[in-house]
Amino acid sequence: MQIQFRRAEIASNERFNLLHEALDAMMNTKANSAESFHGALNSNRSFQVRSVKLDFPRFDGKDVLNWIFKAEQFFDYHNTPDTDRLMISSVHLDHDVVPWFQMIQRSHPFRSWQEFTRALELDFGPSAYDCPRAALFKLNQSNSVAEYYKEFNALANRVYGVSNEAFLDCFLSGLQNDIRRDVIALEPSSLTKAFALAKL
C-alpha cells in the first residue's frame, strides 16, 4: 500500500513538474512574441519607447489645463496609482501654488487626484462663468489661419458633447469669407484637412 502511495506521489510530482515547465514555456513564448511585436512597431521609429525620459512638469499657477493634461499623460505612461499622484504633484509646485497647496492640505487635505485637479481648475483655471462653447461658436479668424487654428483648438479642447462634424462646421464658419469659400468648395472631411486647405 505504501509503495503504491509513493508511486502515485512520484507520478503526481512528475505531472506537476511537466505542467510547470509547460507554463514557463508558454510565458516565455508570449513574452518573446510581445517583445518582437513591439520591436517591429518600434523598428520604424528612430528611438525605442522605453528609452524616452519623461520629466514631470512643474506648475506655477499658469495654464492649469495644459499642466493637468501633461501630468495625466505622465501618470498614465508610468501607471502611477492615484495615491502617489498627489505626492508627486506636490513637489512640482512653484511660486504662489505652494502656499495655496499647503493651506488646503492643512485645512481640508485632498483625498484624490481628481479632487486636487478640480480645485486647481477652480482656483487657477478659467472662470467658471466662461463658456468655452459659446466662445468657440463666436470665434472668427482675425489674423493668420495658423493663429485662428490655435485659438480654435484651445477652446475646442474645453468643449464636450460636440461631434466632429459640428467642430468642422464651426471652424469653417469662422474662417475669413474668401478662405472659407475656397475650403468649402474642396469639401474637407475633417478639421485637420480643413486646416491644411485653409493654409494654402
Give me the DSSP letters along 44-86.
TSSS-GGG---PPPPB-SS-HHHHHHHHHHHHHHTT--HHHHH
Which pTM was predicted?
A: 0.56
Whole-number pLDDT of residue 68: 94
Instruction: Note the pLDDT tens digit of each residue in 98-152.
Output: 999 999 999 999 999 999 999 999 999 887 677 889 999 999 999 999 999 999 9
Q: Domain containing 38: what range?
A: 2-50
Q: Same domain, yes or no, for 151 and 192?
A: yes
Is position 59 within any domain? Answer: no
In sequence order, what are the beta bridge partners of 59? 93
Q: Same domain, yes or no, for 137 and 187?
A: yes
- The whole-chain average pLDDT of the chain stands at 83
The CA distance from 30 to 28, in Å, is 5
Instruction: Note the pLDDT tens digit of each residue in 62-73.
Output: 999 899 999 999
The CA distance from 195 to 170, in Å, is 12
Domain boundary among 85, 108, 124: 124
**Is the pLDDT at 20 greater than 70, yes or no?**
no
**Is the pLDDT at 32 greater than 90, yes or no?**
no
**How many structural domains are present in the chain?**
3
**Is the pLDDT at 60 greater than 80, yes or no?**
yes
- CATH number of the domain enclosing 186: 1.10.1200
Contact 124, 68 (CB under 8 A): no
Which one, of 148, 141, 197, 189, lies nearest residue 169 by Cα?
189
Domain boundary among 124, 140, 155: 124
Domain boundary among 81, 104, 124: 124
